[in-house]
A and B are shown apart, each in its own frame.
Chain A
Amino acid sequence: MERQVERRFRFAGLALLLAAPAMLSGEPAGLALLKSRCVACHNPQTTQGKLDLTTREAAVRGGERGAAILPGNSRDSLLYQLAAHQLQPAMPPAGNALTPEELKALAAWIDAGASWSEEVRKPASSLFRTAVRPLFEQHCVACHHPGAGKSSGFDLTSREKLLDGGDHGPAISLQDAEASALVARLRHVKTPGMPLNQPQVSGDRVAKVVEWIREGAPYDGPIQVSNLPTKAAGAPHWAFQKPARPPLPKLSKPLAAWSRNPVDAFLAARWQEKGLQPTAEADRRTLLRRLYIDLIGLPPMPADLDSFLSDRSPDAYEKVVDTLLASPRYGERWGRHWMDVWRYADWYGRRALDDQRFSARHIWRWRDWIIESLNSDKGYDQMIREMIAGDELAPNNSNVLRATGYLARNYHRFNRNVWLQDTVEHIGFGILGITLKCARCHDHKYDPLSQEEYYRFRAFFEPYDVRIDRVPGHADTHDGGLARVFDAQPRKGSVEPYFPPIYKETYRFIRGDETNPDKKPLAPGVPAMLGNFAIRIEPVKLNREARIPDLRDFVARDLMEQARQNTADAELGVASSARLLEQARAQLAMRGGAPSQPLKTRKASIAFADIQPILFAKCRQCHGGVSNESRRGGLLLTSEAGAFEGGRRYGPAIVAGNSAASPLIRAIRGEITPKMPPEGTPVTAAELAKLARWIDEMPPEDAAVTVRKAENRLALARKHLDTMRLAIPSLEARLAADRAKYLGADAKENAEELAKAAVQAEHRYALAQAEETVLEAQQLLAVENSAAAKTKLEAAIKALAQGVGTYTPVFEVFPESSTGRRSALAFWLTSRENPLTARVAVNHIWMRHFGKPLVATVSNFGRNGARPTNQPLLDWLAVELMDSSWSMKKIHRLLVTSSAYRMASSGAPLSPSNRQRDPDNQFFWRMNPHRMEAEVVRDAALYLAGSLDLTPGGPDIDEAQALTSHRRSIYLRANPESQAEFLRLFDQPNPTECYVRTESVVPQQALAASNSSLYIEAARALARMLSNRNSGEEEFVQSAFRVVLGAPPNSAEVAESRRFLSEQATLLAEPSRLNLFSDEVLARVRPSSEPRLRARENLVHALLNHNEFVTVR
């Protein structure tokens, strides 16, 4: 508000200013206005709307909408009508309306005959192009471009804006160039002097600006922010210019001979400049292990090594490369890399309560899409497009829809703005390599990116929402479904059932504060610094199936199947309740009807207080009674009575005195489903034993009480069966009504009839439900529940009798079209004109092959980011990627078959002069050794032990099973709230944000590798496998080294190993003298009872803990 007032005031000031010299010079104020406000866009060069306003004839002739000025008749002049906002588009555009005073002046001038004192606009002289524009670009525009925060509201990217001036008033005076504030600031006679905190520009340059103002300050076109120079060099920032394929550099003879492909040539060119020498090629074992781990995330088996070592053909290496790239393991390895960049996270929130708050259910389908897409070598551009707009590009293809998990992942239950923030900012970091984030609260401090542009970028995503589509075989979308995005209608958010708000418009949040939006709605737009090519937004019409996915045949089939299954379950419930009752009656009969005395004679050694911590730790989230939600199946385990009473549906959790028959124990043991606890840490053997003893020592229940409970239970089970039986016709009728409504074009009447029938069927079902609730409440003797249930029952009776109302639709119906915003953005992102996308992608790929990126700040290619250490190489690779249909496998092949990739990392003699000239290996004169990533540390041990389960894809595996499951690590659940401890210790990334992984060395890793059951089991299994094949100690040692470390032992290692085997066997031969760490048996593979074999297990375990096992050289 304040700002608006200020603006008005300023404009009024400008009008006065214009009016004053006009009176002196005889130029009418209206003409002055025309000059200052209209001519920038309507001159012979620009001719917006084919209109030129620089001469009277041209103005009278007009543009595509006819005459602009009717001299003497302001009321009918188009120019006036547009300026007065009587017609659209309102002029001048972008909220720079004339003030009433100015309008009056304009009208007066037209009415007075629109006299032209001179030619309004001289053609732009070369002065602007040669002197002024470079000055502005170099020193001014970075701060003074549209909306820039530090710019005092002043913008000089166009003549019009320049004439507008800023918060401190007009910047130039066309009448008195020397007196212009712009000039005074450039000369540092007005404070603050400009450019701010920089040396004054030379007097000559300022003189040219003065001369140019005298000419009328003509522009030859607006100044593009994308052409802004970098701070240091004065050239446009490298990363905002489209990459061009640089010519191959000329190399010295030895380097040319060394070089295998352009990757080598570009690296070698830098070495020539820096005086560096390439390092010798790594030995073939090292090379093969490096290549395997790099491409498939698993080490080579001895057989792989042998076949490679014995293949002497010149393309032996290339053959391996092709085989590995064709392996399905490649997609899993590189999928994990891209999941870092794309922030994959399984859904999180209160998992035990099934309360999803972030990310999306079933998002693992996106993970599988990533893996499959990589394996099929789908283009990177295509992948990006499908991730951002798969629902618009292929609305009926559920395979493609999976890709939109990329956007579904950002779901944030509590704040729509945070959700959209993450979406915008991580596209910035991950795909574009720019820090859009900075511009959320203010104009970017380093890059020419305004805050408004940030919000325009957000506008692409403003309508998007997440939904779960059904998939065959899952009637309940909780159990199975497809998380995908779509453009929703604007709506207010609701709490129950929960929906986030979808805002109609996007606004700039002043200082990033979502409670303080600006007034002006913003249309989608891309940052000007990168160019607005390929942006054409057209709504996408969606067909019926995309709009109403429930119309697909399997949906009705699955729903009906579920209803029938519920009925069958209810029948089983009746049968089992009847059996329980029979047993209880038999028990009572045996006692002759006499009430049994509680057995106080046997003193329980375990009190409830002793087992409560176990129940609290393992069961409280479902059966803790904090809220209704945590009383699953009605079962409350916070007291002995609760456990004894059990759930209403499934009966008592414990059978006093008989742990073997107690459902609690049986569920923990997995004898009945679902196994308990369903998630989290399993109950240990010791805990289970304690629980069992507690039950076994418990005095049994009074038989008469048992009978009464069983009778109740049977009555309820019967009632429940009735309800379930009525659920079937209700569902059937609703399905029929829905189908008629959406499919039957010519069956309007029929549809109405079916709808009526559905109403009736649903009422009958509702009545049965109400009756069941009443019965349940009565049995519980809960007065409050009872009253509420009865009210519900009465309502149900009434509804059935009256037969009115509408039925609950089965099918969900979604909007008929999508805005097309996201596909427009996706095409912009993946356009060849986009300067960043391909560069950022190849930098990520490079980093993962070579251990270090070419641009150190992988998520920031902006002006505050690092410069590439080898830009020609980066650009060449970026263009190569685009020219190869964005095939990533092509790039992998190119990189790993280069001579550079094959160099040794360590061990080989490294050139001392290289080390002096480039100690950090910035220029890649050797390979970088690194530690296996967390997933490889886990997978490789399992793989070598022969126990890695290579089943691909499927739902995420509970992270608590990291040590017991043998699936690849990529399939283990990971989200910001929980990760497998084992992987986290080895620096598995935080799924919130990870563009570069870290590599630490801490004692906790040593503990994980030496003490985890995973490594202990793998060592035992592998040792036995190797022992079966190798009886002699020497043979065994040789093969163990080959398998685990990929290389045979040297003589010192053989000697040490043999000494260890013999000493360890001696030690283990006398177990009575040894002390166990603990009695608990956790590892599923027990140690060998044979001391020699057990020593061998220890040896393999030691090798898995060897530095050279986790190191990739």
Chain B
Amino acid sequence: MMSKLGFFPPCGRISRRNLLVDCGMGFAGLAISAMLHRDGALHAESIPEPWRPPDGKPHFTPKAKSVIWLFMQGGASHLETFDPKAALNQYAGKTIGDSPYKDVLASPLVAKGVRQPVPEVRKLMQTIFPLQATYRKYGQLGIEMTDWWPHLGEVVDEIAFIRSVWTTDNDHGAQYQFHSGRHFLDGLFPSIGSWIHYGLGALNQNLPQFVVLGEQVGPCCGGSACSGAAYLGPQHSGVELSVDPANPLPFAKPSGEVYREEQKHEFDFIQKLDRIAQARYPEDRAMAARIQSYELAFRMQTTVPDVFRFREEPEHIRKLYGLDQEQTRSFGERCLAARRLVERGVRFVQVYHGGGALSEWDAHSELQKNHSKLSAQVDLPIAGLLKDLKQRGLLEETIVVWGTEFGRTPGVEGQRGGRDHHPYGFSVWMAGAGLKRGIIHGRTDELGFHAVENRHYVTDIHATVLNLLGLDPRRLDVPGQKRLEIDYGQPIREILA
């Protein structure tokens, strides 16, 4: 395995060369048999079958069908979003050591909670920086959040906030960690979307089941491994679609005088030939992936362009997502596309915000300018998405997750009003099927430094999502692929309805 992602910039769209050039020694033919089972095409004697992969059925009764996974690239401040702290304003300008909360620095978590290749690369930001946004209580339950999220404030009673998430990477490799549960120095592991894809398969055979919208994470920080399937096989990786009604997908139809029936028959023939060849190379996972990619491609010719026909939506819906405003249009289109995808039975939609390699939320300076602008780009569309899902009844079967790689330091960084990366405690929220509504779970200390109550590592978010989808992560295991205890996570029972 080529494990040093950070120094191994992938050049194409998807970095899985190692998986494909290597024909899947170790657990031969698993992916193929998974697929062939589904298609009823497996000849039992032709392929060795040491272990049976998931059959596409949940392990227990699911509460949700689909997931919309919103991810803010660069690290949105928990303090200026969903975990505002009065103490920051009160002790602004003092060092943490001079404040009544100096013990946060002595916490063993400071030394041990973060895994850096070389110690002390990042300094602790000592001077307390006041909140850059005003805040107040929203909703019937009076949930405190900043005023940069007025629209979300209108639906705050739908949301379960988790204010006590932590991670271990102090750099943007944490983007990869948030999606895989593993530190990026560990190598490539399946992302949460690919686990779900692997475990549950298709709701709709005409669209990719795991779709990625928005700018892919930069190669520094995991790149497409953030939606990659690693050893699960590339057919379980996210498919990038472009939110462009005019060109969602290149080569979407044959160029020139081809009959639909003619093409259908030819596709069937290609598949037959590939399956004959597959008997010669039963261990070739790339081949299995290619067979599947052709099946999907055939159907996507009609289904994908349909998803992005936003003009079909009535005016009030387009407005609801902010398609009528310059600053919200781009993310609004992604949110609307996400709804249209889950409506059509897509299992997992990963929606990025923040410019890919630019990691826009990374406010090392001028946090106020940066976060107020970015919040305004996403607040209305996300609120619109929740409202729209609710009015359609889709919120009863869909989970919406809002996350980011880490929070930002209570202390100021540099001379120009920034906050540094902060992995010790930050906020994530979830809403929808099977979840409690209008609840705050977990707590950081008075400075927002450490998650101190009901601490959750990022895989607890994964486990919660899997649980709601009716999956037991241990039963998804692949023999020969060692997972750590922490990889599985624990469902956050307190927020389950």
Which residue of chain A has its CB nearest to the CB of B111? Answer: A197
Which of A82-135 touch B at CB < 8 Å?
none
Shortest CB–CB separation between residue A933 and chain B, in angstroms? Answer: 10
CB <8 Å contact, A985 and B256: no
In the complex, B294 has a CB within 8 A of chain A? yes
Distance in Å from the Cβ of B445 to the closest Cβ of chain A?
Answer: 26
Which residues in window 1045-1086 of A have CB below 8 A to B? 1050, 1052-1053, 1056-1057, 1060, 1063-1064, 1067-1068, 1071, 1074-1078, 1080-1083, 1086
How many angstroms between the C-alpha atoms of A409 and B494 in the bound complex? 57
Q: Are B12 and A1056 in touch, CB under 8 angstroms?
A: no
Q: Could you name 10 residue pairs across A and B whose Cβ atoms are closer than 8 Å?
A: A866-B4, A928-B21, A981-B250, A1000-B237, A1006-B290, A1060-B266, A1075-B261, A1077-B263, A1101-B266, A1107-B291
B277 touches A1098 (CB 8 A): no
Contact among A998, A1013, A1111 with B10 in the assembled complex (CB-CB below 8 Å): A998
Tell whether, in the assembled complex, residue A1003 and residue B11 are in contact, meaning their CB atoms are under 8 Å apart: no
A150: interface (CB < 8 Å): yes
Supply 6 further A-B pairs (C-beta < 8 A) apart from A919-B480, A1099-B269: A865-B7, A989-B11, A1007-B249, A1012-B255, A1056-B269, A1056-B273
Which residues of A lie under 8 Å from residue B239 when comparing CB positions?
1002-1004
Q: Any chain A CB within 8 A of the CB of B474?
A: no
Q: Is B262 an interface residue (CB 8 A)?
A: yes
What is the CB-to-nearest-CB distance from B344 to chain A, in angstroms, rounded to a whole number?
16
Using A920-B25, A993-B11, A1086-B257 as known contacts, say yes or no to A1102 and B17 having CB atoms under 8 A apart: no
Closest to A1041 in B: B273
B262 touches A1064 (CB 8 A): yes
| Residues of A that sit less than 8 Å from B by CB | 150, 196-197, 340, 435, 445-446, 851-852, 856-860, 864-866, 905-907, 910, 915, 919-921, 928-931, 963, 981-982, 984-985, 987-990, 993-1008, 1010-1013, 1016, 1050, 1052-1053, 1056-1057, 1060, 1063-1064, 1067-1068, 1071, 1074-1078, 1080-1083, 1086-1087, 1098-1099, 1101-1103, 1105-1108, 1110-1111, 1113
Would you call B83 an interface residue if the criterion is a C-beta within 8 Å of the partner chain's C-beta atoms?
A: no
| B11-A930 in contact (CB<8A) | no
Given the interface pairs A857-B4, A999-B16, the reply to whether A445 lies near B117 with Cβ below 8 Å is yes
A998 touches B4 (CB 8 A): no
User: Contacts of A906 on B, CB cut-off 8 Å?
Assistant: 23, 281, 283-284
Contact A1008 B260 (CB under 8 A): no
| Nearest neighbor of A1080 in chain B, beta-carbon distance | B256
Partner of A1068, one of B18, B262, B287: B262
> Which 10 residue pairs spanning A and B have beta carbons closest together?
A994-B11, A987-B12, A1083-B256, A1006-B297, A989-B11, A998-B12, A1000-B14, A1082-B255, A1003-B297, A1074-B259
Which single member of B121, B253, B255, B263 contacts A445 (CB below 8 Å)? B121
Chain A residues in 8 Å Cβ range of B108: none
Question: B21's contact among A851, A1002, A1077, by CB below 8 Å, is which?
Answer: A851
Checking A1064, A1068, A1102 against B270 with a beta-carbon cut-off of 8 angstroms, the contacting residue is: A1102
B200-238 with Cβ < 8 A to chain A = 208, 219, 234-235, 237
A905 to B21, CA, bound (A): 10
Q: Provided the pairs A1003-B296, A1010-B263, A1067-B262 are in contact, do residues A996 and B251 lie with their beta carbons within 8 angstroms?
A: no
Closest to B283 in A: A906
Chain A residue numbers with a CB within 8 Å of B1 are 920
B1-34 contacts to A, CB under 8 A, are 1-4, 7-18, 20-23, 25-26
Interchain CB contact under 8 A, A1083 and B255: yes
Cross-chain contact of A864 among B13, B117, B259, B296 (Cβ < 8 A)? B117
B276 on the A face (CB < 8 A):
yes
The 8 Å CB contact of B300, one of A1007, A1057, A1071, A1108, is A1007
Q: How far is the CB of A725 from chain B (nearest CB, A)?
A: 50
Interface check B484, CB cutoff 8 A: no
Contact present for A931 and B286 (CB under 8 Å): yes
Complex contacts, A1101 vs chain B, CB 8 Å: 266
Is B475 among interface residues, defined by CB-CB distance under 8 A?
no
Interface membership of B155, Cβ < 8 A = no
Q: Is the interface of A mostly helix, strand, loop or mixed?
A: loop
Give every chain A residue within 8 A of B452 (Cβ-Cβ). Answer: none
Q: In the complex, which residues 269-311 of chain B have their Cβ closer than 8 Å to any Cβ of chain A?
A: 269-270, 272-274, 276-278, 280-281, 283-284, 286-287, 289-291, 293-294, 296-298, 300-301
Q: Which of B23, B119, B276 contacts A929 (CB 8 A)?
A: B23
Cβ contacts under 8 Å, B492 to chain A: none
Using CB atoms, name the residue of chain B closest to A1070: B261
Q: Which residue of B lies closest to A1094 (CB)?
A: B262
**A1006 near B11: Cβ-Cβ < 8 Å:** no
User: Inside 8 A of A1102's CB, which chain B residues have their CB?
Assistant: 266, 269-270, 273
Least distance between A222 CB and chain B CB atoms (Å)? 25
Cβ of B258 under 8 Å from chain A: yes
Contacts of A858 in B (CB 8 A): 8
Q: Is B12 a contact partner of A1105 (Cβ separation < 8 A)?
A: no
In angstroms, Cα B187 to Cα A866, docked, is 12
Which residues of A lie under 8 Å from residue B117 when comparing CB positions? 445-446, 864
Decide if B429 is an interface residue (CB 8 Å cutoff): no
Q: Are B253 and A1011 in contact (CB under 8 A)?
A: yes
User: CA–CA, A228 to B269, complex, Å?
Assistant: 61
Which chain B positions have C-beta within 8 A of A852? 18, 21-22
**Which A residues touch B120, using CB under 8 A?**
150, 196
A230 to chain B, nearest CB (A): 14
Contact A1002 B293 (CB under 8 A): yes
Distance of A446 Cα from B289 Cα, bound (Å): 38
B27 — nearest CB in chain A belongs to which residue?
A919
Residue B252 lies at the interface, judged by CB distance under 8 Å to chain A: yes
Determine the residue in chain A with the shortest Cβ distance to B264. Answer: A1067
Expressed in whole angstroms, the Cα–Cα distance for A398 and B60 within the complex equals 73
Q: Given A915-B26, A1001-B234, verify A930-B255 contact (CB < 8 Å).
A: no
- For residue B482, CB closer than 8 A to chain A, the reply is no
B101 lies within 8 A of chain A by Cβ: no
Q: How far is the CB of B300 from chain A (nearest CB, A)?
A: 6
User: With A and B bound together, what is the CA distance between A1071 and B258 in angstroms?
Assistant: 11
Chain A residues positioned under 8 Å from B286 (CB to CB) = 929, 931, 999, 1001, 1107, 1111
Set of chain B residues within 8 Å of A1007, measured between Cβ atoms: 249-252, 297, 300-301
> Across the interface, which residues of A come within 8 angstroms of B314, CB to CB?
none
A1105–B277 Cα gap in the complex (Å)?
13
In the assembled complex, the Cα of A1035 lies from the Cα of B365 at a distance in Å of: 71
Alpha-carbon gap, A669 to B208, bound state (A): 40
- When A1001-B235, A1102-B266 are in contact, do A929 and B11 touch as well, CB less than 8 Å? no
Tell me if B41 counts as interface (CB < 8 A to partner A): no
- Whether B258 lies near A995 (C-beta < 8 A) is no
Q: If A196-B119, A1001-B289, A1007-B250 touch, does A1077 touch B2 (CB 8 Å cutoff)?
A: no
B40 interface contact, C-beta 8 A: no
Chain A residue contacts of B287, Cβ below 8 A: 1107, 1111
Q: Known interface pairs A866-B4, A1064-B265. Does A1076 touch B257 (Cβ–Cβ under 8 Å)?
A: yes
| A234 shortest CB reach to chain B, Å | 18
Q: Give the shortest distance, in Å, between B169 (CB) and chain A (any CB).
A: 15
CA distance A1094 to B278 in the complex (A): 27
Q: Contact: B20 with A1075, CB < 8 Å?
A: no
B7–A860 CB distance below 8 A? yes
Q: A851-B21, A928-B22 are in contact. Are A1016 and B273 (CB under 8 A)?
A: no
Q: A247 CB to closest chain B CB, in angstroms?
A: 30
Task: Find the residue from A851, A985, A987 having the highest chain B CB count within 10 A.
Answer: A987
Determine how close the nearest CB of chain A comes to the CB of B248; give it in whole angstroms.
11
Are A197 and B7 CB-contacts (below 8 A) given A998-B15, A1010-B267, A1106-B270? Answer: no
Nearest opposing residue in chain A for B414, CB measure: A511
Q: Which residues of A contact B12 (CB under 8 A)?
A: 987-990, 997-1000
Smallest CB–CB gap between B155 and chain A, Å? Answer: 35
**Whole-angstrom distance between the alpha carbons of A445 and B6 in the complex?**
14
List, in ascending order, chain B residues with CB within 8 A of A196's CB: 119-120
Instruction: Identify B253's interface contact among A1063, A1078, A1105, A1113, CB under 8 A.
Output: A1078
Contacts of A1052 in B (CB 8 A): 276
